Structure 1
């Protein structure tokens, strides 16, 4: 497995998780559709740098997520609204081993021994230490958030729908 100095989240991104190297430095294991590698940055650094390359930052992305979804914990984050790339964590981002998932690559979820079993679009199967209901709720919230950001007639500044749009 090779080590990259930098990484920007793209459409092939499936998930990432923090992992300490032999010098106790927090790095990140990244899984894309057709490759797996280590990045010499923490998951939060990768998120921030990926968001910064389109002119925003991680703090602003987190604030926007809370604005649109309400004051929820562990909100999904829009990494790139141009390509509609959103990620969500399986637990608080304060933990080094938090996994960040791209909902676009999760094909199916079910349960195995009380944990969430994920099947990805490329056929990869993995188990996540989370209850299926909890994981599916986060996945659904991320998909809802993507639709909100994608336009679909949602105006966060207006509490009323436009009757001319049939909603």
Structure 2
């Protein structure tokens, strides 16, 4: 399998998952639309590297997501607002086997025997040991963050979030 030294999350990224290689080093399995490969960096390093490319950091991206969506548990992360690339995790980033998903490539989720079957835009299916409702909530949060961030960037009308309601309200610039 192809081994890369570094990787930047892009529009072809489906998901990525951390693992330990035979020497005990933290690496990442990356699945793109048309290929799968290993990166010699942890998923969190890949997230950090990808966000740094546009002049931000992971801590700030997570804080922004909570500001936009409210104080949700395990917020999604906007990787690149210019290209509308957002990712979300199936569990805490602290877990070794956390998977980071790009929501735009998820076509369908199906519940079967307390597991979630995820179908991607390229026809690949992945099975997770979690409830479909929990996964779909995270998917919905990621899509909402992606849509709101994209809207804020494109629309000349500024969007101001009312923290008490956690709903965006539009206010004309003067």
Match of 2:101 in 1: 101
| Residue 161 (structure 1) aligned with residue 169 (structure 2) | yes
Tell me the CA shift for residue 156 of structure 1: 3.5
User: Separation in 2 of the partners of 1:95 and 1:2?
Assistant: 25
TM-score (norm 1): 0.93
Query: Structure 2 vs 1, CA of residues 97 and 156 (structure 1 numbering), >3 Å: closer, same or farther?
Result: farther
Distance 2:170 2:160 in 1: 13
- Residues 1:37 and 1:163: Cα distance change in structure 2 (over 3 Å): closer
Unpaired runs of at least 5, structure 2: none
Name whichever of 110-119 and 79-88 sits farther off. 110-119
- 1-side partners of 2:32 and 2:110: how far apart? 22
Structure 1 position 49 matched with structure 2 position 49 = yes
- Encode CA deviations 1:21-62: one digit per residue, 9 max, x unaligned: 001111000000000000000000000000001111111101
CA contact (8 A) 1:30 1:36 kept: yes
Aligned pairs (5 A) from 1:13-162:
13-151=13-151, 155-156=159-160, 161-162=169-170
SS at match of 1:73: coil
Match of 2:11 in 1: 11
Tell me, in whole angstroms, the C-alpha distance in 2 between the residues paired with 1:154 and 1:25.
45
Task: Flag structure 1 segments of 5+ consecutive residues without an equivalent.
Answer: none
Aligned partner of residue 161 in structure 1, secondary structure: strand
The whole-number CA distance in structure 1 between the counterparts of 2:11 and 2:170 is: 33
TM-score by length of 2: 0.89
**Structure with greater proportional strand content:** 2
